[in-house]
A and B are shown apart, each in its own frame.
Chain A
Amino acid sequence: GQQVMQIPQYQHVQEGEDFTTYCNSSTTLSNIQWYKQRPGGHPVFLIQLVKSGEVKKQKRLTFQFGEAKKNSSLHITATQTTDVGTYFCAGTGGSYIPTFGRGTSLIVHP
């Protein structure tokens, strides 16, 4: 079945440093979504990528979808303490069932 690998599992950064998390799928995806879960909270949708090679930006966050639609990345520029949380990717291969990565927990040290 479809598998989505996400790395790293944890990332410690100093406030102001950049952060990147990567997702790789074992199969070609129809779309990929990114979610953020704050400590103690529930996952909240950030963005969806659909097109091959797509790049989207939300303020300091940059999301990319690979040309082969099998990988994706989330990059945060100049992290802030408000960026703390776990970031999940979720890939869909055409069914109603998204496959979530295991998430990357971002810890920002002030």
Chain B
Amino acid sequence: SQTIHQWPATLVQPVGSPLSLECTVEGTSNPNLYWYRQAAGRGLQLLFYSVGIGQISSEVPQNLSASRPQDRQFILSSKKLLLSDSGFYLCAWTSSGSTDTQYFGPGTRLTVL
């Protein structure tokens, strides 16, 4: 069966520090991968999506970036965090070529102080 992992679960970082969040998927090949951010009490904001290794599309211009170095690995990064980067970061996957069910990881709760 397929599983999706995210780490860390919780992170507190000072303003201006770098960020690296990792997401890995098991049990499937060539998934579509997504990064979302959810501010407290708000909806899901799509940040990046990827349909294959090295293929990244950005939905919202900001100081975040994403990379997909391996088929089932998706990384969200920042060189310098802002206060507004605080939120709940969710990774999700769908089957290749599909617009079906999105499976979400457990998320990373990021607080920037």
Contact = CB atoms under 8 A, between A and B. Distances in A.
Interface of A: 30-31, 33, 35, 41-45, 48, 88, 90, 92, 94-98, 100-103, 105
Given A88-B43, A96-B99, A100-B46, 13 more contacts: A30-B99, A31-B100, A33-B100, A33-B101, A41-B106, A42-B107, A43-B102, A45-B101, A45-B102, A45-B103, A100-B44, A102-B43, A103-B43
B49 A96 contact: yes
A101 B46 CA distance: 12
B24 interface: no
8 contacts: A30-B99, A31-B100, A42-B104, A42-B106, A96-B94, A98-B102, A100-B43, A100-B44
B103 A94 contact: no
B102 A90 contact: yes
Interface string B69-113: 000000000000000000000100010000111111111000000
The 7 closest A-B pairs by CB, nearest first: A102-B43, A92-B99, A42-B104, A100-B44, A45-B101, A42-B107, A43-B104
Contacts of A45: 101-103
Contacts of B102: 33, 35, 43, 45, 90, 98
B99 A98 contact: yes
B59 to A, nearest CB: 8
Contact of B105 (A42, A94, A95, A100): A42
